[in-house]
Structure 1
Amino acid sequence: MSLLSFCQTSLELFPNVFLTFLAILITGLVLAIITYRNHNSNRKNLPPGPPGWPVIGNLCQFARSGKQFFEYVEELIDIYGPIFTLRLGSRTMIIISDASLAHEALIERGAQFATRPIETPTRKIFSSSEITVHSAMYGPVWRSLRRNMVQNMLSSNRLKEFGSARKSAMDKLIERIKSEAKDNKGLVWVLRNSRFAAFCVLLDMCFGVEMEEESIEKMDQMMTAILYAVDPKLHDYLPILTPFNAGGRNRALELRRELVEFVVRFIEKRKKAIWNPEGSDETASSFSYLDTLFDLRVVEGSETTPSDEDLVTLCSEFLNAGTDTTGAAIEWGIAELIANPEIQSRLYDEIKSTVGDRAVEEKDVDKMVFLQAVVKELLRRHPPTYFTLSHGVTEPTTLSGYNIPVGVNIEFYLPGISEDPKIWSDPKKFDPDRFVSGREDADITGVAGVKMMPFGVGRRICPGMGMATVHVNLMIARMVQEFEWSEYPPGSDVDFSGKLVFAVVMKKPLRAMVKPRARI
């Protein structure tokens, strides 16, 4: 049915409803155009960018390109340079892909660029009272939450306390791979297994109570469903369409309700395990992230502590932040070791010479120079995501001679920095020796200068950076120690195309052949 036929039929069958709908639509469009003009009259001297239509901006150009968003951005970098403006409906984005601009904004002037843009309505459903570490506005609530997470949970000393949880998860990972390989003639799915291992570690760290595999699977399914729910949709860019998203909003509210009901059960188990251990049947860890939250004063001097809904939100972001990114890093890492068998052999030789025939332990990682170089090159070549979490400015400012207004999304495109030929020699090549030889190096915190920023840099740098590198180093070491990895089908080339699904994963999921190594 054509649009004209649809309108005629609707007018005949539902004249009052249709005319009301049409009046709302026209009024909304007029108001949107007026708002757009006023909005842009106050935003002069923005960085250059592709011209767009009123209201919708560059949405149609992006849709017509048929490209993934990061591919579209790469195309525009070639045209407009390392800082440009892109308008997607109501969102104005300033895209930055230059190391010196990133350093100036996030390190030299970190406080100005340390806030976040306003979240979409769907995201707010899952961010109870906006109490989250990753998306809270720059201010006292964010400082309190982040300080608690870093000092009480992610410090190097605290991380060591979870060594047994990591060992247990690594042992499960190896057994899962062995079992899957046995049932599938040596074939295993890399991302699925590595992601499960990362999730198990984080669950233990977060809740501190033992979970059955059925609960683990359900928790994972719920977290994944929520990530899909908050992924930006068309109405997030065009708020005028929000009234037509009632079904999506209702589904999001239902997901949130289900999540709260499910997670609160484990919150209550943890409370019982630590406050009434004699009356609890739970096998509990000595410490968990939840323990730091029960009596936390979110605002200094206040008597208010997080509600159950707040606790669910904080636990959810802790789990989501480290699961997909770690799993994806392992998938890319194994893919590079398959494509570069000489690197895999060198890494195995280092592991063998360091630990002999016993299983790799965390304390061994510090002695493995080549392993650390492999992981650092992995993070340079395959950062967990193409963009850092969106930044915003706390007050109007300028960068590179352009105005940066309050309310715009500032997006840092990571491959534009970590693959910049002005910074790196042969940047597309996977070459851990660049770090071993000292020929090239980079401080991933960005303090000494930005050359790669897989975890962001500055005040909003990922608080879990230290934990993530521990997990990736240990997981790759154990997987290489236990198995020889090769391509499937034999003789084929690894497809290194990527796509963004919460984290950057391989467009064609990696299924690899494994051969158990002899252990005496």
Structure 2
Amino acid sequence: MSSSLFPSSVSLSSHYHLIFTLLAFLISVLIFFLTQKTKSKKSLNLPPGPPGWPIVGNLFQVANSGKPFFEYVKDMKAKYGSIFTLKMGTRTMIIITDAKLVHEAMIQKGALYASRPPENPTRNIFSANKFTVNAAVYGPVWKSLRRNMVQNMLSSSRIKEFKSVRDNAMDKLINRLKFEAEKNNGVVWVLKDARFAVFCILVAMCFGLEMDEEKLERIDQVMKNVLLTLDPRIDDYLPILSMFFSKQRKNALKVRKEQVEFMVPFIEQRRRAIQNPGSDQTATTFSYLDTLFDIKVEGSKKSSPSNEELVSLLSEFLNGGTDTTATAVEWGIAQLIDNPEIQAKLYQEINAIVGDKKVEEKDVEKMPYLQAVVKELLRKHPPTHFVLTHAVTEDTSLGGYDIPTNTNVEVYTAGIGEDPKLWTNPEKFDPERFVSKGEEADITGVTGVRMMPFGVGRRICPGLAIGTIHIHLMLARMVQEFEWSGYPPGKKVDFTGKMEFTVVMKESLRAVIKPRGETVL
């Protein structure tokens, strides 16, 4: 699900460089004596890493490398090995890129590595002081919130209850694609339409209210504003610079106020619908919000969450499942365009299983090639380059190095999915590796880590099951209904990625669709 900070999003503008240069010099002089005192203390045996400046650490190297953070990490991996350290201002990042080390840390020592590090106070504004599943430190609050989400919303039985919601959203997706293609000579924007379909599902699950397209788009815009506000800033790494970001903090408070004021009326509408059954014709039978009104949080004296806390929990649910799924679908369609033989084989399987009937969820279980395509998609294009930042609950060690409690433990997921020691021809998109070539991977990581698009261990994404259902169903319906080709015709697909909230295609995918024939809707 979502994250309040992605280390792969580090970006420093030129005026920050000037601030850094001046302040780094002044601060270095001022704290010279303090740094001398620390030398007498026992030094930690941290993993190796590039040397950096006093105070700012490796921030200059990252800023001036001219590369996205994940590419800088790849360079450091080649130089320093499978576990290394980056000093990013006041933060110490320990980067893990090796599958065995990840399994040891997140599975074998799962509880030890299951917490979160401190954050910039601005981040806590949107998590209601870490009152969300993703942001909460390892402890009773996290356990209560996660248990509620998994047992009451994301269990297999509960997911089945929302089948009609998914069916309606899939029909809307197909109709939107047809309408857009008719207006644009067959050309569609894949990500936009896929994102809207997923968002429709999650809003219905979240609020238990039927909403028109105008309200859906407004909620979506509010969520996007929050994500933009949470883009990493320099004062995340050098809090002393926060004096230069008072405007940004005021803007964050403004965005949070708008978010709360917009969402609270929906919360109150749902509360009234529960208290007076049958009074609201737009209300459905169940929602995530219903489970939160009277949630009992271990160790808390409050009888129920505040409206601000409810807003944070609902926003997490919406943000966590929308972009991750939609971007996966976009990468998937891009690969099917680039590999028409895979698209053809997938269509043949779909046609053989369902014929002229539209694909349903129960059909997906009978489609091993579709499942292989999705697994290969998640291996090749995980939603983010890094899982959400971990922290240890007590000082420990890994790979012979010290892991202190005050460090950010970062797992480079893309590096594991493309590791030639784990995969044959990892750069190739090849679903056959999971069908006829004997390669396999448990995406939960329990039996061994070879890919981890949803993370692994105790902080594994709770939306894994529903996320994979959405990806399978959307790709199956889209391929069943249309033959997909590139736009402009003959142009090669550009698979360059960039980091936004998730890893998206740098050049958003436009495609030409051709109906395969009439199907039942």
- In 1: Cα distance, 2:24 partner to 2:74 partner: 35
Number of the residue aligned with 1:81 = 81
> Which shows bigger deviation, 460-469 or 121-130?
121-130
Cα 1:353–1:204, aligned 2, differ >3 Å: closer, same or farther? same
Cα 1:302–1:53, aligned 2, differ >3 Å: closer, same or farther? same
Cα 1:171–1:34, aligned 2, differ >3 Å: closer, same or farther? farther
- In 2: Cα distance, 1:90 partner to 1:516 partner: 55
The secondary structure found in structure 2 opposite 1:416 is helix
Number of the residue aligned with 1:291 = 290
Residue 228 (structure 1) aligned with residue 222 (structure 2): no
Q: Report if aligned partners of 1:28, 1:240 keep a CA contact under 8 Å in 2.
A: no
Q: Which runs of 5+ in 2 are unaligned?
A: 1-14
Q: Deviations over 1:433-461 (max 9, x none)?
A: 11112510001111100010110000000
- 1:374-389 to 2 correspondence within 5 Å? 374-389=373-388
Q: Report if aligned partners of 1:329, 1:384 keep a CA contact under 8 Å in 2.
A: yes
Residue 260 (structure 1) aligned with residue 273 (structure 2): no
Number of the residue aligned with 1:481 = 480
Cα 1:272–1:94, aligned 2, differ >3 Å: closer, same or farther? same
What amino acid sits opposite 1:481 in the alignment? Q
- 1:64-213 to 2 correspondence within 5 Å? 64-213=64-213
- Count of matched residue pairs: 500
Number of the residue aligned with 1:518 = 517
- In 2: Cα distance, 1:329 partner to 1:25 partner: 41
Number of the residue aligned with 2:10 = none
Q: Report if aligned partners of 1:200, 1:216 keep a CA contact under 8 Å in 2.
A: yes
What amino acid sits opposite 1:136 in the alignment? A
CA deviation after TM superposition for structure 1 residue 358, in Å: 1.2
Q: Report if aligned partners of 2:27, 2:55 keep a CA contact under 8 Å in 1.
A: no
Q: Deviations over 1:367-389 (max 9, x none)?
A: 11110110000000100110000
Number of the residue aligned with 2:4 = none
Q: Report if aligned partners of 1:43, 1:403 keep a CA contact under 8 Å in 2.
A: no
Residue 490 (structure 1) aligned with residue 483 (structure 2): no
CA deviation after TM superposition for structure 1 residue 26, in Å: 8.9
Q: Deviations over 1:314-343 (max 9, x none)?
A: 000000101110010001000000000000
- In 2: Cα distance, 1:360 partner to 1:328 partner: 21
CA deviation after TM superposition for structure 1 residue 214, in Å: 1.4
Number of the residue aligned with 1:344 = 343
- In 2: Cα distance, 1:33 partner to 1:182 partner: 68
Q: Report if aligned partners of 2:112, 2:392 keep a CA contact under 8 Å in 1.
A: yes
CA deviation after TM superposition for structure 1 residue 27, in Å: 8.0
The secondary structure found in structure 2 opposite 1:129 is coil
What amino acid sits opposite 2:327 in the alignment? A
Percent pairwise identity: 61
> Which shows bigger deviation, 31-40 or 439-448?
31-40
What amino acid sits opposite 1:135 in the alignment? A
Q: Report if aligned partners of 2:50, 2:86 keep a CA contact under 8 Å in 1.
A: yes
Residue 465 (structure 1) aligned with residue 464 (structure 2): yes
Number of the residue aligned with 1:417 = 416
Larger Rg: 1
- In 2: Cα distance, 1:37 partner to 1:509 partner: 51
Q: Deviations over 1:234-293 (max 9, x none)?
A: 11111111011111000000110110011111111111122112433x411111000110
Number of the residue aligned with 1:273 = 273
Cα 1:301–1:47, aligned 2, differ >3 Å: closer, same or farther? closer
Number of the residue aligned with 1:45 = 45
- In 2: Cα distance, 1:39 partner to 1:139 partner: 32
The secondary structure found in structure 2 opposite 1:411 is strand
- In 2: Cα distance, 1:446 partner to 1:402 partner: 23
CA deviation after TM superposition for structure 1 residue 63, in Å: 1.1
- In 1: Cα distance, 2:484 partner to 2:31 partner: 55
- 1:324-403 to 2 correspondence within 5 Å? 324-403=323-402
Number of the residue aligned with 2:215 = 215
- In 2: Cα distance, 1:46 partner to 1:56 partner: 18
What amino acid sits opposite 2:275 in the alignment? W
The secondary structure found in structure 2 opposite 1:450 is coil
The secondary structure found in structure 2 opposite 1:484 is strand
Q: Report if aligned partners of 2:486, 2:512 keep a CA contact under 8 Å in 1.
A: yes
Q: Deviations over 1:216-236 (max 9, x none)?
A: 111111111111111210111
CA deviation after TM superposition for structure 1 residue 490, in Å: 1.1
CA deviation after TM superposition for structure 1 residue 501, in Å: 0.5
- In 1: Cα distance, 2:421 partner to 2:396 partner: 28
Q: Report if aligned partners of 1:36, 1:54 keep a CA contact under 8 Å in 2.
A: no
- In 2: Cα distance, 1:133 partner to 1:403 partner: 27
Q: Report if aligned partners of 1:229, 1:252 keep a CA contact under 8 Å in 2.
A: yes
Q: Report if aligned partners of 2:24, 2:55 keep a CA contact under 8 Å in 1.
A: no
TM-score by length of 2: 0.93
Number of the residue aligned with 1:447 = 446
CA deviation after TM superposition for structure 1 residue 127, in Å: 1.2
Cα 1:437–1:273, aligned 2, differ >3 Å: closer, same or farther? same
Q: Deviations over 1:6-45 (max 9, x none)?
A: 9xxxxxxxxxxxxxxxx99998665666666667856521
TM-score by length of 1: 0.93
- In 2: Cα distance, 1:336 partner to 1:200 partner: 25
Cα 1:438–1:396, aligned 2, differ >3 Å: closer, same or farther? same
Measured on the aligned residues, the alpha-carbon RMSD in Å equals 2.0
Cα 1:33–1:145, aligned 2, differ >3 Å: closer, same or farther? farther
The secondary structure found in structure 2 opposite 1:328 is helix
Q: Report if aligned partners of 2:24, 2:54 keep a CA contact under 8 Å in 1.
A: no
Q: Report if aligned partners of 2:95, 2:410 keep a CA contact under 8 Å in 1.
A: yes
Cα 1:238–1:36, aligned 2, differ >3 Å: closer, same or farther? farther
CA deviation after TM superposition for structure 1 residue 308, in Å: 0.6
The secondary structure found in structure 2 opposite 1:128 is coil
Q: Report if aligned partners of 1:36, 1:55 keep a CA contact under 8 Å in 2.
A: no
Number of the residue aligned with 2:505 = 506
Cα 1:254–1:416, aligned 2, differ >3 Å: closer, same or farther? same
The secondary structure found in structure 2 opposite 1:241 is helix
- In 2: Cα distance, 1:473 partner to 1:85 partner: 38
Q: Report if aligned partners of 2:119, 2:236 keep a CA contact under 8 Å in 1.
A: no
Q: Report if aligned partners of 2:112, 2:394 keep a CA contact under 8 Å in 1.
A: yes
- In 2: Cα distance, 1:244 partner to 1:287 partner: 46
- In 2: Cα distance, 1:350 partner to 1:465 partner: 24
Number of the residue aligned with 1:55 = 55
Cα 1:39–1:305, aligned 2, differ >3 Å: closer, same or farther? farther
